Structures are given as structure tokens and as C-alpha cells.
Chain A
Amino acid sequence: MTDIQTIRSTLANLRSDGETRLGGVADLETLAEVERSILGKRSALAGLGAALKDLAGSERAEAGQALQQTRQALSDFARQVRDELDRRDAERRLVEERLDLSEIACGSRRPPLAASSRSAGHLHLVTQTRDELEETFISMGFDVVEGPEVETDWYNFEALNMPPDHPARGMWDTLYLRLGSPETVLLRTHTSPVQVRLMSKGDLPIYSVMPGRCYRRDTPDARHLPVFHQIEGLVVDEGITFGDMAGVIEVFTEAFFGEGMHSRLRPSFFPFTEPSAEFEVTCPICAGAGCRTCSGSGWIELGGCGMVDPNVFTATGIDPERYSGFAFGFGIDRLAQVRTSLADMRALLDNDVRFLSQF
């Protein structure tokens, strides 16, 4: 009953018949049905496949190949139909969902979140801390200045008395960008390059603070984030002394943390300041009595400070014999963490609304 000629003509018929039926389909549901009836287990095509076993070896191979081709052609055709239907569907949805957004803008002034059960929102804890710091410094007569987050090696290191290969560069694990020559363009590791930009402008005297986002190649943990915020301050004027620095830090400590809160300085090292110091403030949790936050010492280390190194003045075109100055800086996120007794700093980046709405 079967010979190769009959099979070939049957296949040709099945193919043209199948394509006609698929071509007529108007929706995805019907397509699935039609596909099943043409290519499925109970289709004529499948039946023909079963009949092949009656053929002689060489003919069977030939017929099998022809059957496979037909099957392939039909399923390709079905895919084309599906793609077309998908496209039409998306288009239909688009038309159906199209909204003239200007209608909303022309409508009556309803609050944006009228459909929500939310009331007032909350500024991020870091923003609140930063705002508060800015307010404090403005009241002390400091301008607020910002600068780029991506910097050149010169602004971030070299002008700050850290030539290439300087071992102190190891104090900052730096993220470099694939721009310019290797290791020349980087994400600032501190906001100090803003100081360099300010000093290079030569508009003296300078009484400024520079808050902003900084980056270090640090694995995040409870006390460190690779993306964090810092605020630094810079004073450059004639006759500025170490005593002035200690005084300004003390005034800030009282203004920001409240009455009875004090500061103290301990020797430290930064390549861009000399003498350098770490500054500690009365622990804001226990007010100096000693607690877990301050490891019982009554003090917490807040940041670093020091007299601007003469090399930094020279690099930025300021005469170190005529002018002197000091700089200080600390982490905003870290300060927020200490003040709120936040166990894990990573919560700052989760943006969990249950956390955000606490502040």
C-alpha cells in the first residue's frame, strides 16, 4: 500500500493543507489547537511516520527524511504565525492600554498618592544626617560645596601629597574606571578632591564643607559599605592654627551633638595633613558614661583631621608660608549608624520601607 511516490505526494498535500489551516488562524488559542492537530501524536503526519516501517531499507530512509522536512517546514510556519499573532496581540494591548498622559496633567489637582494609604513620607536616614550636618556647618559660617564623584588620579591622590607608588595609597582600596590610561580615572575614595579643586581655584579665604558620595573597593560588612557618604571641611586663611582646628571641631561637636558633648584629638597620619589627628567625640549613646557602642571608653572615633600639608598648598598654587589651614572629615553613614545604634550598616542600602519610615 505504501511506496515512496505515494508518501511524497501525501506529504505535499499535508503540507499545503497544514499551511492553509495555520494561515487562517486568528488567535493564539486556536493556533495551539491547530498545531496539535497537524503536528501532534494523533496527526496524519504522525500516522504516516508509523507506516514507514513497512518500507524497504533505502526507501524507508528516504521517506523518513522527506517526512522530517515536512514536519520542520510546518513547525517553522507555525512559529511565524505565532510571532505574527504575538506582535498583533502586543499592538492590540498597546492600543487598548494607550493613555494620553496629558489628560492626567490637565485634570484636577489630586495628590499623587491619593490612591494609596500612605501619608507623609520620610527622608533617608543618611540624607537627614547630611542635612543636619550641613545646617550646623552653615550656621558656623561654612559654605557647602560639591564636586564630581569620578576623578583623575591627580585630584584624588597626587595633589594630596601621594605620588604614584606612595605606600599610603594602600590606605584606600580604589576602584578604577576603564577610561583613559589604566589607573588614571577613578571613583573618588574621599571627598578631598573637592578640596583640591577649591584650593586650585585660589579664591581665598576658604571656609567650606564638602559632602558627597565616595567609593572604596571594600567588601560590604556591618560597618563598611563600598559606596558611602562623607563630609569634609576645609579652612584656608592667614594665621590659621592647630588650636583653631581643635576649637572648630569642639564647637561643631557641641552644636551637632548637643550640650555637654566634647571632642578630643589623638595623633594620627594622613598624607595630606601634618600634624594629623583622629578626632573622637563623647559617645552620643551613653553621653560619656561608657557603653557597648564606645566599648566602655565614653568616646567614639568620628573622623580624621589635620593641618593642610605644605605640599598640598604648593600643588594647588597657594603659598604655604603665607597661608595655613586645616581639614577634617568623617563618614556620614557611619555617624548615622552610631547615632541610631544601627547594628548593620547594610540596612541603609536595602531601602526597606519599614526601615525608612522609622526616621
Chain B
Amino acid sequence: MLPGDFKISKRKMRGEVSNGMLCSPAELELNYLGGSDGLLVLPEGSAAPGVPLAEALGVHPDVVFDIDVTPNRPDALCMAGIARDLAAALGEKWSWPSTPMPGAPDPRVAVAPIRVDAGEICPRFCATVIEDVPGGPSPLWMSRRLTLAGMRPISGIVDVSNYVMLDVGQPNHAYDLDRLGGAGLSVRRGRDGETVRTLDGMVRHVGPEDCVICDADGSPVGIGGVMGAASAEIDDTTRRVLLECAYFDPNAIARTGKRLGLGSEARTRFERGVDPELAGRALERFVGLLRTLDGGDKVRFGATAEYRDPVHTPVAPVVGLRTGRVNSLLGTSLSDGDVERLLTPLGFAVEGNGEGRASVTVPTWRLECSREIDLVEEVARMLGYGRITRTLPPSRKRTGAVRSAVADQRRRLRGALVGAGFDEAWTTTFISPADLDAVGIGPAAVQVDNPLDANESILRPSLLSGMLRALRYNTDRQADDLALFEIGRVFHLPSGDADLPVEEERLGVAVVLPRPAGRDASVEAAVRTWVLIADALRLQDPVVAAEPAAGLHPGRAARVGAGGVNLGVVGEVAGDVSGAYGLAGRVGWLDISLDALVGVARRDRRAQEVSRFPAADIDLAFVVPDTVAASTIAATLRLGGMRGADASTGDRAPGDTPAPARPGARSPVEGVTLIDVYHSPELGEARRSLTFRVRLRASDRTLDDSEISQVRKSMIEGVARLGAQLRS
């Protein structure tokens, strides 16, 4: 069985039966053994027949740990760093990886001239010339380790360079000295309009914010701490190397890397912070590893040219640490000695004064530990989070927990809607510019600067398009009986000088009913949903008043409100709008602002005594002009025919002024319900018949016939003033 579940079996090859197969390194997932084009040929004598391949190759089962290193721990971005932390945790001894001693610098090897003109962004810079560098690939063990660490083996020198970075954590750069103009390096800020062609073949525009590495002639050979240039690249012919090990200012590297959109292993390390004192160690390791290459025994290196900026080179901070502070933040009772014992194995030098205070010198690989709290974290980490006793806050000043009025209202609404059969949806906040057009909302909307997708570049100013899309998703799956609601924020452009958009929480309700329910069923459901909500939230004086609205059928749209506040719209989605979303059926729609709703007056909470006396129902049919809303008639009837404030919630006729109600008189009208609507040409042009059932009841007596007929008369007169006649 080969990797990828490929089974080797008996098959015919060019007419001959073959029981086996010759494999390439790629087929065995052993790419580091050489190109994938040829077959894998084992060195002569390395494997007697019958010896397992793994044994012949010296391959052992591997365990590769995938470690997620947090951004505050650049020291752990190398094998040595992980080992150092682990050793401290396990109480083991730790040392740097052992390298065959590279010996002393060879005085016959030149010292490369270096010059640093940007010490504030490159405070440490070391360059060493290495001669008689062997060509050819790196040894098997090295290329195998690089592969396992996720890097591609390239050539002996490049592999050594990468290995040093992964091993001790120093990003470094090896230049072909014979291709460098002037055989030296200089470091300066970029110039306006300057370009560098980086190793990946791209031309990068650099500027004064960026650090540029140049050869001694001044031409750029790399963007400092981010990526080298193509010009002095190492190849098979390279025999003399100039090795650069530097320390760059993390913020400068972060800015350059972000602006150029250029990621690299070097950038990742430098922008988090590399040990500024690592260069010597890295050089030693580099030369030592070069010597393991075929022909590497002749490698010679010169003295290191070194730059150290006196001001900008970071020095190990000395941080004050109070044992009392450690304990009060962690809830522990550690002694000074405990704290010292926990910190020392990590490389911190703790000097206590014996009275709960210590001066802690931070190792150069942990420069981000510059505050007391950073040391508190180290103590907690080394102690083990699980060993800190769990307690509960003292809660001396706590009062009962609350939820906001908005959240309360939201819950009440959800409860009412779910009870009535609606499913809750949540749709994305993003819509496309085409959506704005499709639902008839103006082009002014909040735009996303860097959307993932042009179809998600607008913050929704309305829930409508998202809900129509949700309906479509379901109708595409043969559902034709849909009632969905969503509660979510919509966004409007900022008002005035504000930078932040106006956020508004809205409720959207969308209904599609099966065709046999009739053409008015969906819009009816939407209006009834409004009535349901108004009742559930005990809204005062809810209103439905005809008014065109964006995206809605002009003859089937109304404004809804309560307590004199406009809350939103109800109606049927215009056919071309629902059609644009691929919906064939009619869509009922209710859309109200929950932010406005929360401020609306609610019905009085005081209990009203219910009457013990019998009711009298009277049915009244009126011929009403189409221009007069049923709600206007109903309001008049509710006042017993008198004109009052209630009537103003409908469409009041011009010049219609409310009459003063008799003091102390309570309307005997308990309820008004429209029980029949009848359309017929016989009723006259643009008129329909509305039949109301009025329920009369007094709180203190049984109404007699004369009272009832008086109210009836008054109602008919009141309604007549609205231009509607009793139907004979």
C-alpha cells in the first residue's frame, strides 16, 4: 500500500506479469530524497534484499507537533525556544543545540565593509564572509527535518540558512558575495520612488518608512527583515557567502510588511521581536552546519563586521515584582522564594530584597516582558493554571442582574411571533448594490471598504432583501407555506459630522401563503401580525394608515404606528420586487423599528373592572367611499358616533374638529368589529359596503332599548359626517 491508498498488486506491464513496482520518491512521500521525476535508487550496498526500506533509509516514525505560537512568544518560533520552555516546565536542563565548534575566524578571509545609516530601525547588524562554501544539496537528515517542519529543501546553503532560523530563531540572509557590488553591505531607509525586485520576482515600491539593505555600491539587495532581492541570490555556483544576521525594530517591520502585503518567515519573527543578541550564536550554527555538507570541511569564515546602535538596541529590562501583587491578582499565597523558583528556569534573573519585592532581569529573548503583569503571567503559567484554587468574587456591592427594556421587548415579540407560527430567521448583514436597487432603496448606504465579495459590500439599510432571499431559498425547495421573521440591526449613513452610522434594530416579518389561500391572504397575514404585536405589547392606539412605501405594492401598503409614533410599514411586496428575487407568489411584509417601538406608550396597567351586565350587539352596514378607511369609521363608532381624539388616528376629513366629550360620560361601546366587506357596482363608483358589529354594554346597568337606539342614531349621524351612508 502506497500513500494515498494506492495498492500495489499483480498487473501486466508491456506483456509481462509484474508483482511489484518501482517507485519514485514522490510516490513514497519522501520528496526530500530527490526530484519526483526519476525512480528512487538506493545507494549501492546500503540495503541488502529483505531489509525494510525504513531501516535502509534510517527513517524512524515521526511525531510532528503542530504548535500554535501566540504572538507574544516570538522566542518560541524555533526549536530551541520550544525546548527551553518545555525544559523549564518539566524541570529539565536546557542547552543550545550542540554544533561542532567552528573554530576561530580565519584572518585571511576579508571582513566585509558594512555601514548602517538607519540605526533606529536596524539597531543591530552583523555580516560575516564565509569562503570555500560547498555546492550541492544538504544532507538527508537536514532536508528531511526541513520537510517535516514545512519547508522545501532547495540547496545546501539555503537549507542551512532556513535550518538556522528554525533551529535557534535567527532569521538570516546569505548573499553571494561575488554578486554583491563592492563586496559589502549598507543599511539605509528607502527612497521615494525606489523599487526592489524581491526573491519572489515581484517589484516592490519602498519608501523612507522601510529599511533597505544595499550592497557597498548602494544598490538594493533586500528589504530589511522582510525579504531579500533577486540580485545577489545564492545558486549552485556560489562559493563565497556574505551572511547577514540583524535585529530590526518590530514596529518598522510590521508597517513595511503590512504596507507591502508581503509575508515571510523573517517578517513573522522580526515583527514580533527577535533576540537582539542572537547573531553570534546563529553564525556559529551556520558555519557548523555548513561543515556537515559534502565538502564542507574546507569552509572558512572571517571576522564578523558588527554594528550596534547605542540608543536603539534594546536592552534587557529590569522589572520590579511584588509578591503581594502576584498573590492578589492570582488568588494565591506564594512566597518570595516560590516566585523566584518559578521564574528562574525561564531565564529570568530574580533578585529579591527579602521583603516581598524583587528586581527581575528579563532574558534578551523575552523582551516583551517589560511590566510587572507580564511576570505575574509567567508565574501563573509556570505554577499551572489548574493549581490555582477556584473561588467566587466577593460580590459586596452587587445588586440584582437586569436585562434592558430593548432586550425585554425583543423577547416578548419573539414569543408572540413564535406562538403565532412564525419561524425565526437570521440573515447576513451584508447586501449587494443590486439589492438596494431591487428593493427600491436609494443608493445612499453604508459601504464596506474591503468586502470579501462585491455582492457583500453594503450594510443593509433594510431587512427586506435578506428576508426575500430566505423565502426564495425555501421556495426553491418546494416550500410554499412560509412565515419568517427576523430581528436585526440595519444601518443608515451617519447624521451630521458623525463618523459612525446610525444603527437601528428592526423587525421584519415575511409571509408567503399557498396559492389556494387567495390573492389577499399574504398581505392579510402581515396586517394581522401587526394587530397581534400591538396587542401583545399592549400598544396604545395602534394605527394602519394607507401610505405608499419603497418596495411595496402601491395599493397595498400602509404605515403602522401607535401612540402617535410612526413605527414602520405593512403591506404586500411589489410584484416586480418579489419577482426580482425569484418569488412567484405574493409576499406579505411587516417592518417596524424596535428602537422607536420601545418608547411608545403602553396601555394602562391598572385593572379595568369588567361589567356584569348583558351586552347588546347592533350590526350597521355603511356604503363607504373608497377614500375613507374602515379604521376611520370604526373609530367614530367606538366613540358612539361622537367625534373625538380617537378618530384622528384615521384619515380625518379636512375641517373635521373633535367635539368636546361630555364630562364623566363613558362610551357604552365595548367593541367594534368589521364583519363584512362587500364590493358591487350597485353601490356606486368607488364605494364599498362595510358592515360593523358594535357591542354595547354599560358598567352599571342593563342598557334599555331607547338608550341603544339613541347610540345607534348618533353613530349613524357621526359616520354620515365622514361621507358614508347607512345601507338600506
Contact = CB atoms under 8 A, between A and B. Distances in A.
Contact of A217 (B418, B452, B526): B452
Given A217-B452, A352-B477, A243 B332 contact: yes
Contact of A241 (B330, B403, B459, B542): B330
B251 A116 contact: no
Interface stretch (B102-110, B113-121, B359-367, B481-489): B481-489
Interface in A160-193: 165-168, 170-171, 175-180, 182-185, 187
B449 A177 contact: yes
B521 A134 contact: no
Contacts of B398: 141, 205, 207
A72 interface: no
A227 B403 contact: no
Contacts of A353: 423, 474, 479, 482, 484
Contact of A142 (B401, B488, B558): B401
A23 B331 CA distance: 92
Given A168-B71, A182-B449, A105 B391 contact: no
A177 B684 CA distance: 57
> Which one of A112, A114, A177, A277 has the highest number of Cβ atoms from chain B below 10 Å of its Cβ?
A112
A104 interface: yes
A171 B72 CA distance: 12
A179 B446 contact: yes
A95 B555 contact: yes
B390 interface: yes
Contacts of A269: 70-73
A267 B346 CA distance: 15
Interface string A129-173: 001001001111111111011111000000000000111101100
B565 interface: no
Contacts of B411: 131
A176 B448 contact: yes
B75 interface: no
A349 B521 contact: no
Given A115-B521, A167-B71, A324-B329, A244 B391 contact: yes
Given A144-B407, A150-B500, A324-B329, A251 B630 contact: no
A248 B448 contact: no
Nearest to B570: A101
Contacts of B546: 100-102
B95 interface: no
B71 A175 contact: no
Interface stretch (B135-143, B183-191, B529-537): B529-537
B483 A248 contact: no
Interface in B325-373: 328-332, 371, 373
B195 interface: no
Given A102-B545, A118-B421, A170 B71 contact: yes
B690 A103 contact: yes
Contact of B423 (A121, A166, A219, A350): A121
B96 interface: no
B386 A227 contact: no
Interface string B63-89: 000000011110000000000000000
Contact of A246 (B388, B447, B452, B632): B388
B414 A123 contact: yes
A111 B513 CA distance: 14
> Which one of A95, A99, A117 has the highest number of Cβ atoms from chain B below 10 Å of its Cβ?
A99
Contact of A244 (B393, B450, B570): B393
Interface in B407-436: 407, 411, 414, 417-430
B501 interface: yes
Interface string B157-194: 00000000000000000000000000000000000000
A284 B345 CA distance: 38
Nearest to B525: A112
Interface string B365-393: 00000010110110011000110111111
A244 B451 CA distance: 41
A109 B546 CA distance: 20
A108 B673 contact: yes
A264 B376 CA distance: 19
A282 to B, nearest CB: 14
Interface string B616-637: 0000000000100111111000
A112 B630 contact: no
Contacts of B400: 141
Contacts, number: 351
B393 A113 contact: no
Contacts of A100: 546, 626, 629-630
B220 interface: no
Given A103-B674, A105-B530, A113 B500 contact: no
> Which one of A137, A167, A248 has the highest number of Cβ atoms from chain B below 10 Å of its Cβ?
A167
A167 B674 contact: no
Contact of A179 (B250, B501, B673): B501
Given A131-B411, A182-B449, A276 B525 contact: no
A148 B398 CA distance: 26
A124 B555 contact: no
A98 B555 contact: yes
B681 interface: no
A313 to B, nearest CB: 10
A213 B503 CA distance: 13
A101 B558 contact: yes
Interface string A76-100: 0000000000000000001101111
A349 B428 contact: yes
> Which one of A95, A102, A144 has the highest number of Cβ atoms from chain B below 10 Å of its Cβ?
A102
A121 B500 contact: no
B509 to A, nearest CB: 9
A268 B421 contact: no
A351 B452 contact: no
A175 B451 contact: yes
A148 B491 CA distance: 11
A152 B411 CA distance: 29
B92 interface: no
Contacts of B690: 103
A121 B527 contact: no
A357 interface: yes
A242 interface: yes
A152 B498 CA distance: 11
B395 A113 contact: no
B381 A113 contact: no
A237 B423 contact: no
A94 B555 contact: yes
A106 B450 contact: no
B554 interface: yes
A356 interface: yes
Given A115-B517, A351-B425, A248 B393 contact: yes
B236 interface: no
A290 interface: no
A226 interface: yes
B503 A150 contact: yes
A138 B535 CA distance: 28
B373 A110 contact: no
Given A243-B330, A251-B392, A145 B677 contact: no
14 contacts: A97-B555, A106-B692, A115-B524, A121-B417, A121-B418, A123-B414, A165-B255, A207-B393, A215-B429, A247-B393, A264-B385, A275-B377, A351-B473, A356-B424
Given A187-B429, A351-B427, 11 more contacts: A109-B535, A112-B525, A127-B426, A143-B403, A149-B429, A166-B254, A235-B393, A242-B330, A247-B390, A250-B390, A275-B377
| The 9 A-B residue pairs with the shortest CB-CB distance in the complex, in nearest-first order | A243-B331, A241-B331, A269-B70, A98-B555, A102-B631, A180-B499, A112-B528, A275-B377, A247-B390
Interface of B: 70-73, 250-251, 254-255, 258, 271-272, 328-332, 371, 373-374, 376-377, 380-381, 385-386, 388-398, 400-404, 406-407, 411, 414, 417-430, 446-452, 456, 459, 470, 473-474, 477, 479, 481-484, 488-489, 491, 494, 499-501, 503, 511, 513-514, 517-521, 523-532, 535, 542, 544-546, 553-558, 570-571, 626, 629-634, 650, 672-675, 677, 690, 692
